[in-house]
């Protein structure tokens, strides 16, 4: 039996000291937080901090783990050919340290938004679900599994 293949990803929800949240406008998902796949030989923490810097120009520090999610749906990548394996995502609340917003190959816009206005920007159902957990974080880590295609469907959720 072959070893299972999973994508491991880390997302950074960065807040500044004024209560604003960093948002990036991606080419495929619209407004989102920073994040992406963890590279070979890289820890989750290294991966999320690298992704924050690459996608936004911001240096941040991790405050806490707040969510672990499994996207167990089987679907094709944006290219319409490649099968996407199960994805496991780790969401971290982070704090701004330094830097100025700048775009990247993956982001068309990078902005700070008051946390009370964040949900006005985020449109994808799965992203709205995860952002709501961040904005209402109570200290317990969310663990959930879901599918995103053909539409978002929550399969399980618990707080640990």
pLDDT of residue 26: 95
**Least-confidence region, from 6-20, 75-89, 119-133, 135-149:** 75-89
Which domains are delineated in the chain?
Answer: 6-159 (3.90.79.10)
**pLDDT, mean of residues 81-107:** 93
**pLDDT, mean of residues 35-39:** 95
pLDDT digits (tens, 9 = 90+) for 111-151: 999 999 999 999 999 999 999 999 999 999 999 999 998 89
Contacts 24+ apart (CB under 8 A), 119-126: 121/23, 121/30, 121/31, 122/23, 122/30, 122/31, 122/32, 123/30, 123/31, 124/29, 124/30, 124/32, 124/152, 125/151, 125/152, 126/71, 126/152
**pLDDT, mean of residues 49-63:** 98
Is a pLDDT exceeding 70 seen at residue 4? no
**pLDDT, mean of residues 73-84:** 78
Is a pLDDT exceeding 80 seen at residue 89? yes
Mean pLDDT (the chain) is 94
Share of the chain above pLDDT 90, in %: 82
């Amino acid at each position: 039996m072959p070893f299972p293949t999973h994508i491991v990803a880390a997302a950074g929800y960065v807040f500044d000291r004024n209560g604003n949240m960093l948002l990036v406008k991606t080419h495929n998902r619209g407004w989102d937080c920073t994040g992406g796949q963890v590279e070979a030989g890289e820890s989750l923490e290294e991966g999320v901090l690298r992704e924050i810097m690459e996608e936004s120009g911001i240096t941040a520090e991790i405050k806490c783990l707040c969510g672990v999610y499994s996207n167990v749906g089987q679907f094709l990548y944006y290219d319409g050919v490649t099968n996407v394996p199960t994805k496991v995502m780790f969401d971290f609340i982070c704090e701004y340290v330094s830097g100025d917003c700048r775009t990247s190959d993956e982001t068309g816009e990078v902005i700070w938004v008051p946390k009370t206005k964040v949900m006005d920007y985020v449109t994808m159902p799965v992203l709205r679900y995860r952002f709501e957990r961040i904005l209402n974080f109570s200290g317990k880590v969310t663990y959930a599994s879901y599918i995103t295609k053909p539409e978002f469907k929550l399969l399980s959720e618990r707080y640990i």
